[in-house]
Structure 1
Amino acid sequence: MTIGTVTSKPKAASIPETVQKAHDAFNRGVTKPMEWRRKQLKSMLRMYEENQDAMVEALRKDLRRSKMEALLLEVDYLINDLKNTLHHLDEWAKPVRPSKTIVNMLDDVVIYNDPYGVVLVIGAWNYPLQLLLLPMSGAIAAGNAVVVKPSELSVNCANFIAEMLPKYLDNDAVLVVEGGPKETTELLQQKFDYIFFTGGTGIGKIVYEAATKSLTPVTLELGGKSPVYIDNTVDIVVSARRILWGKFINAGQTCIAPDYVLCSKEVQDKFVEAAKKVLYEWYGEDPQKSPDLCRIVNSRHFSRLQSLLDASVNKIVVGGKTDAQDRFIEPTIVANVTEKDKIMEGEIFGPILPIVPVENAYEAIKFINAREKPLTMYIFTTNATVRDSLLNNTSSGSVCCNDTVMQMGVDTLPFGGVGHSGMGAYHGKATFDTFTHKKSCLIKNFAAIGEKLGSGRYPPYTDSNLNFIRTLMRKRQPPSLKFLPYLLAFALGVGVTYGVFAVQKMSSEDL
C-alpha cells in the first residue's frame, strides 16, 4: 500500500490501465482491512478540513455559489457525513446474525458485508463535490477500490478533485479519471463490479444499458419534475419562504428542487403576493447584483432555460429578467400554467417556478400520477387526511411535508429515486449498504444430534422421514400476545390473594 504526496504530475495512465490498477489493488486485498478503510476516511476528512477555502473558491468559479450555500450544501455536508460514517463504521461492517428456526438451532447463520470490488462513481456538475465525494467515501468505507469521474462541466471542482485525491488517498486504490463524454464512454466499456451515477435521465439510460452488458449492478440518482402541493390550511408566507428557498438555491439547479406547484387559484394568488415580498426581501430590487444568487452553469443550459421563458412570457408574474453574458436568470414565477405548456415537458433545472391550478388534492393526485414518478414530492398542508391521501396514492423517491430539500439533511432517511427518477438509495448507512454485497452464510457443525435431526433427508426416502422433516421445517406463528395483559392481571390477582392468605395464616399462628 502506498499513500504518498504527488510532487510532480506523472504521465496520465490510459483508462484501461487505470481500471486495471484498481482491480489489482482490490485483488491484493489492499482495501478490505478496516485499518485501511478508516485511514482513508480520516485522510478524506483532513482533506476537507484543510481545503475548505479552496473548495468554496472552486464552487464560486464554477457556479458563482455563495460561501453560505457552498459550506452548508457541500463542504459541511461532506464533513458531517464522513464523521457519521467513521463513528458507525465498525457497527455497520460487522457480520449480522439474523434469527434462525429450530432446523438450524445448532448452526451459525451469518450475513457478511462484502465489498463488491472495483466501483465506478460518476459525479454531476450541479453539486460537483458532494455528489461525487459522498458516494466515493461510502464505497471506501465498504472496502471497495474506487475510480471516480468528476463532471467536466464544473471545471474548477473537477481540477480540485484530480489534484487533491492523489495527495490524500491511496494512489493504487482510489483513482481519478478526468475528461468528458469520450472518457465516460470509454470508462463504461471497462469491467466494474458496481456503478454509481448521478445525472440526468437521458445519460442514466446510457449508463444502465452499458452496465447490463456485463450484468453490473448500478445505482442511478436521476431527477424529474418534483411537484409541490399547497392547500389553504397553511401559513402562506412561511410556505412561500420554504418553497422559494428550495427552488432558488443554486439557481434552481438542484435535482430535488420544487419543479412546479399545484394549488387552487385562490392559493396561487396568495402565494404570488407572498413570493414578491419574500424575493424582494432576499435579493432586493436588482437580484442580479445580489451576492446570494448563483449563475447557470453554461451557455447551453442558459439557452434551454431562456427558451422556456420565451414560451411562457405571457404568464410570467414574478421576475423574468435574463442576461446571457452573465448567465443570469432572475428568480421567476409563471402562473396559470397548463399541462400542455412547454415548461411542463421536462425537468426545469433552473430558477423558474410554474404554478398549475387544480381544484383540490384529488386533482393534484391525478395530475402527479399521469406523469413519470418524481424524485421527491412536497406536501404543504396541516390537514392530516389530505397529507395521507397524497402520501398513499402517489409514488415518489421521497416526500417532505411542509418544507423543501430538508429531508436531505436526515442521514437516517435513504435518498434515491423510483422509476424514471432513479434506482437505489444512499446517505448514512444506506450509502455503506449500497456498496456492500450481503453474503449469506450457513455454518453447519458435526454434532451428533444435528446429524441425527438431518439424517431423514438421505435415501432411502420414507414417508416417516418426509413427515418428520416437514414438521421441522414448518413455519409456526409466534403465540398471540392479545390476552397477555389479562393473564398478567390474573397472575397478579392470584399473587395478591395468596399473599393475603399467607399474612392471615401467619397472624393466626402468632395468636
Structure 2
Amino acid sequence: MSIEKIFYAQKEFFNSDATISVNFRIINLTKLKKELLKNEYEIYTALHKDLGKSEEDSFVSEFSHCINEINYFIKNLRSLSKPKRVRTSIINFKSKAYIHKKPYGVCLIISCWNYPLYISLMPLIGALASGNTCILKLHTLNPNTNKLIEKIIKEVFEKCYVFTISKDEYEINKLLDLDFDYIFATGNPNFGKLVYEKASKNLIPVTLELGGKNPCIVHSDCEIDTSCKRIIHGKFLNSGQTCLAPDILYVNSKIKDKFIDRMIFYIKDLYSENPLNFKHYSKIINESHFLRLIKIIEDNREEIIFGGEYSKDKLKISPTLIDKEEIIPHEIFGPILQIKYYDILDGLIHSLKCSPPPLALYLFTSNKTIINRFLNIHFGGGCINDTLVHICENNLPFGGIKNSGIGYYHRKYSFDTFTYNKSLLIKSNKIDIKSRYPNNKNYNLKFLKLLLKNK
C-alpha cells in the first residue's frame, strides 16, 4: 500500500470520530503497554545490537520512560480531556464558556537514532492519548530496534490508525509534501529547518526537538567531586550521543587543576581503566559517525589531556577531554568533552547570550545571585548542580528554543502539544441584551464604554 493511500485511510479513520472516545484511547494505550512488556527483553537485545547499550542503560534511559508515560495517560486521560469551563463577562450574560481540547488529526512523527525507542514512542504515546492517528518515520540507522517497533505496532494497531516506516522506500521529502495536520520531528537544526520549510507551505503546526552546543559552567564554589561525577555521567551516557549532553565545559580558573584531576579520576572510576571493554559504555552508531569523531580527535590530538583511544572494530571511543581555547564548531555528539576556563563571569554570560540558544544549560554553584543571572540566558531547560536529569522530571516540559527546537512535550505537555484549544460559548435564549444592537437608544459611546469597562 502506498504512503498516500495510508495517509488518506488515516484521514478517513480520524474523520469517523473513532479516536475521539477516551475509552478507545485508553484501551489502545493499554494494548501498547502490554505488547511492550511482552517484548521487553527483545527490546534490550535490539538496543544492544544497534547502540551497544546494556540492559540496565536501556531500561533507565528508554524503556522505563515509555511505560511510565503510558501509565500517566491511562490514569489521567479522562481529566485531561474534560472540557474546562471558564468565566464569562457581563456582555455575554447569560452564557457558559468552555475550552475543549481537540486532536489535530493525522500526525507525522519523525524519530532519531540515538534513543530510538524513547524518541519514537514518547511522542507517539502523547499523540495517541490526544486522539490523533499517526505515521511514524523511524530512523534507518537502527535496523534491529526498528524491526521490533514495527512488529509491536503491527500487533497492536491497524494501518489506518498507526503506521510505521523504517526503510528509505518513502523519502522524507515525499512524506513532508503530504498535508499532515501536525508534524513532530527530532533531529539536528539543519533537519529542523527542512521540516519547518516544508510544513510552512501548508501552514502545518510543528514541534521540533533539535540540539545545540550545551554549555556546562562550573563555578569556584562547586562541590568538586559530586560535580565531576554528575558531569561525566551526563556527558558519556550513550557515548555522548545525547542531545542534552554537555558539549563544552567552562571551569573557573581558580579550581581548574583540581577539577581536571578529579574528572580523570571519576572517568576511570565510572567507566573503568578500559572503557572500550566496559559493559555499560555504548558504541558509536555507525562507521560514518565514528570517523567524524575520530577526525575531531586527530585534529586536536595535541590538546587532548585524557583519553583519545578508540577501536574501529568495536566502534568505540574512550571518554576524551580536550583542553582548547578555540571552540570546536558544531555539536560534537560523541564522547569528547571540550574544556575551557574563565576568570570573569560577566564575559562568559555575555558570550553565552550572544550564542545560539542551546537545548540545555548546566550550572554548578550554590550562589543564588549567579543562578539568577544565568536564568536570563536563553536555553530550553537545564539543571543546577547536575546534568541531564531534568528530563526525568515528567512534570517539567521538555523542549528547546529557536535553534534548539520549537515546542515541548512529556505527559501533560504532550497532551497540550497534540491538541488544540477549541473555544465554545453557549448563550441562553432567555435573556437578550438590547443595547448590543445599533437601533437601541443606549447604543452610544458613553454607555458602551461603561458596559465594557473601558476607561
In the superposition, the TM-score normalised over structure 1's length comes to: 0.87
Q: How does 1:134-153 map to 2 (within 5 A)?
A: 134-153=122-141
Shift of 1:406: 0.6
Structure 1 alignment gaps of length 5 or more: 1-12, 477-511
Once residues 30 and 57 of structure 1 are traced to their aligned partners in structure 2, the CA distance between those partners, rounded to angstroms, is 36
**Cα shift at 1:133:** 0.5
Q: Please list the CA deviations of residues 454-511 of structure 1 after superposition, one character each: whole Å capped at 9, or x if unmatched.
A: x2121236565433332222269xxxxxxxxxxxxxxxxxxxxxxxxxxxxxxxxxxx
Q: Which amino acid aligns with 2:371?
A: R
Partner of residue 389 from structure 1, selected from 349, 373, 383:
373
Instruction: Note if 1:466 corresponds to 2:445.
Output: yes
- Pick one of 46, 53, 64 that aligns with 1:58: 46
Instruction: Tell me which of 375, 380, 401 is aligned to 2:384.
Output: 401
Q: CA deviation at 1:181?
A: 8.4
CA distance in 2, matches of 1:354, 1:248: 13
Of residues 27-36 and 407-416 in structure 1, the stretch that sits farther from structure 2 once superposed is 27-36
Which of these residues, 24, 29, 32, is aligned with residue 12 of structure 2?
A: 24
Are the equivalent residues in 2 in contact too, given 1:272–1:318 (CA < 8 A)? no
1:314-345, Cα deviation, whole Å (9 max, x unpaired): 11111111122221110011114323xxx2x1
2:250 aligned residue: 262
- 1:201 corresponds to 2:189: yes
Give how far 1:159 is off. Answer: 1.0
Mapped partners of 2:294, 2:198: distance in 1: 33
* Residues 197, 221 of structure 1: 8 Å contact kept: yes
Q: Distance in 2 between matches of 1:464 and 1:38?
A: 52
- Asked if the contact 2:69–2:125 (Cα under 8 Å) also holds between the matched residues in 1, the reply is no
Q: Does 1:295 align with 2:295?
A: no
Contact 1:15 1:177 in 2 (8 A): no
Structure 2 counterpart of 1:495 = none
Q: 1:468 to 1:299 in 2, by over 3 A?
A: same
How many residues are paired up? 455
Q: Match of 1:418?
A: 401
Mapped to 2, the partners of 1:17 and 1:366 lie a distance apart of: 52
Q: Which range moves more in the overlay, 305-314 or 240-249?
A: 305-314
Alignment of 1:150-169 (within 5 A): 150-169=138-157
Contact 1:377 1:399 in 2 (8 A): yes
Partner of 2:344: 360
Residue from 363, 376, 380 that aligns with 2:364: 380
Percent identity among equivalent residues? 35
The structural deviation recorded for 1:58 is 0.9
Computed over aligned residues only, the root mean square deviation of the Cα atoms, in angstroms, reads 1.5
Output aligned runs, 1:100-179, within 5 Å.
Answer: 100-179=88-167
1:445 aligns with one of 424, 428, 438: 428
Residue type of the alignment partner of 2:393: V
Letter matched to residue 428 of structure 2 = N
Aligned with 2:429: secondary structure?
A: coil
CA contact (8 A) 1:151 1:180 kept: no
Measure the CA separation in 1 of the matches of 2:41 and 2:174: 33
Distance (Å, rounded) in 2 between the aligned partners of 1:55 and 1:321: 30
SS at match of 1:317: strand
Could you tell me whether the CA contact under 8 Å between 1:111 and 1:438 is conserved in 2? yes
- Identify if the C-alpha distance between structure 1 residues 425 and 290 changes in structure 2 by more than 3 Å, giving closer, same or farther: same
CA distance in structure 2 between the partners assigned to 1:131 and 1:361 by the alignment: 36
Alpha-carbon separation, structure 2, partners of 1:123 and 1:57: 20
Instruction: Find the partner of 1:428 among 408, 411, 416.
Output: 411
* Structure 2 residue 301 is matched with structure 1 residue 322: no
Find runs of 4+ consecutive structure 1 residues off by over 4 angstroms.
461-464
Q: Secondary structure of the residue that 1:326 maps to in structure 2?
A: coil
Supply the distance in 2 between the matched residues of 1:321 and 1:458 (Cα, whole angstroms). Answer: 81
Partners of 1:183 and 1:330 in 2: how far apart?
Answer: 35
Q: Which residue of 1 aligns with 2:333?
A: 349
Amino acid corresponding to residue 382 of structure 1 in structure 2: S
Structure 2 CA distance for aligned equivalents of residues 268 and 174 of structure 1: 52
Return the alpha-carbon distance in structure 2 between the equivalents of residues 191 and 317 of structure 1: 51
Query: For residues 400 and 363 of structure 2, what CA distance do their matches in structure 1 show?
Result: 17
Tell me, in whole angstroms, the C-alpha distance in 2 between the residues paired with 1:355 and 1:475.
Answer: 58
Partner residue, 1:275: 263
The TM-score with structure 2 as length reference comes to 0.97
Residues 41, 137 of structure 1: 8 Å contact kept? yes
Does the 8 Å contact 1:15/1:186 carry over to 2? no
Pick which of 268-277 and 218-227 moved more.
268-277
How far has the Cα of 1:355 moved from its partner? 0.8
Residue 67 (structure 1) shift: 1.1
**Equivalent residues of 2:437, 2:443 under 8 A apart:** no
d(CA) in 2 for partners of 1:253 and 1:122?
18
SS state at 1:179 partner: coil
Amino acid at match of 2:435: G
Contact 2:382–2:388 (8 Å) recurs in 1: no
The amino acid of 2:233's aligned partner reads W
Q: Compare the two structures and name the one with the higher strand fraction.
A: 2
Does the 8 Å contact 1:243/1:258 carry over to 2?
yes
1:139-184 Cα shifts (integer Å, max 9, x gaps): 1111111111111111111111111101012432111122238522
Task: Work out the CA distance in 1 between the residues paired with 2:171 and 2:325.
Answer: 40
> Residue 92 of structure 1 is aligned with which of 80, 90, 93?
80
Counterparts of 1:78 and 1:277 in 2: how far apart (Å)? 34
Higher alpha-carbon Rg:
1
**In structure 2, the residue corresponding to 1:97 is in which secondary structure?**
strand
Q: Cα distance, 1:103 vs. partner?
A: 2.3
**Cα shift readout 1:270-325 (whole Å, capped 9, x = no counterpart):** 22101111111122221111111101101111111111111211111111111222
The SS at the match of 1:374 is: coil
The answer (yes or no) to whether the contact 1:229–1:379 under 8 Å persists in 2 is yes
Instruction: Tell me the CA shift for residue 268 of structure 1.
Output: 2.6
Alpha-carbon contact 1:231-1:380 (below 8 Å) kept = yes
Q: 1:105 offset after TM fit, Å?
A: 4.2
Match of 1:482 in 2: none
Distance 1:373 1:321 in 2: 32
